[in-house]
Structure 1
């Protein structure tokens, strides 16, 4: 189950569970859309993968108890800003490789 991390790992902007601005990689590294698109260039600084919009977990129990009340979002903040120099090298190395092939 997705952890639904509460903030952008780079800029520490709040990303509540219903945020449409949250982006994740396949390891659930979580960034805001601005950082994912403009600062990181769709390259996760932790794994090199690409980003996708984070799904919204239902706030209400529409079916089988699958909602935020039973499966709350994480409260653990992971603020680890990307190092600009090392990320630039990683992004340059992956520039020609589409996220689906990384």
Structure 2
């Protein structure tokens, strides 16, 4: 299951479990919407993939103990500020390649 990382890896903006501003790639790299869609141009700086909105884990036990109380979100931040110059090179290399083809 997803770790639900607590903040943006680049700018450290808080992304609590119910945040609709969290974006993840297929490796679960986690960024805020402003960084993922604006600053990073929908290109993950760690793998080159695209971003999608992170799902929200239910806060209540609606069925089968599948909720935050039984499966809490990660609390330790994973900060990896992006080297924007290197990222620009990656974005250039992937120019015109849609996320589903990367």
- CA distance, structure 2, for counterparts of residue 13 and residue 94 of structure 1: 27
The alpha-carbon deviation at position 56 of structure 1 amounts to 0.2
Equivalenced residues, count: 102
Counterpart in the other structure of 1:67: 67
Deviation for aligned residue 1:79: 1.0
Taking structure 1 as the reference length, what is the TM-score of the superposition? 0.99
Secondary structure of 2:34's aligned partner: helix
Residues 35-76 of structure 1: CA distance to partner in whole angstroms, max 9, x if unpaired? 001100000000000000000000000000000000000012
| Correspondence for 2:33 | 33
**Partner residue, 1:89:** 89
Flag structure 2 segments of 5+ consecutive residues without an equivalent.
none
Moved over 4 A (4+): none
Q: 1:30 and 1:73 mapped to 2: Cα distance?
A: 13
The residue that corresponds to 1:57 in the other structure is 57
Unaligned runs of 5+ in 1: none
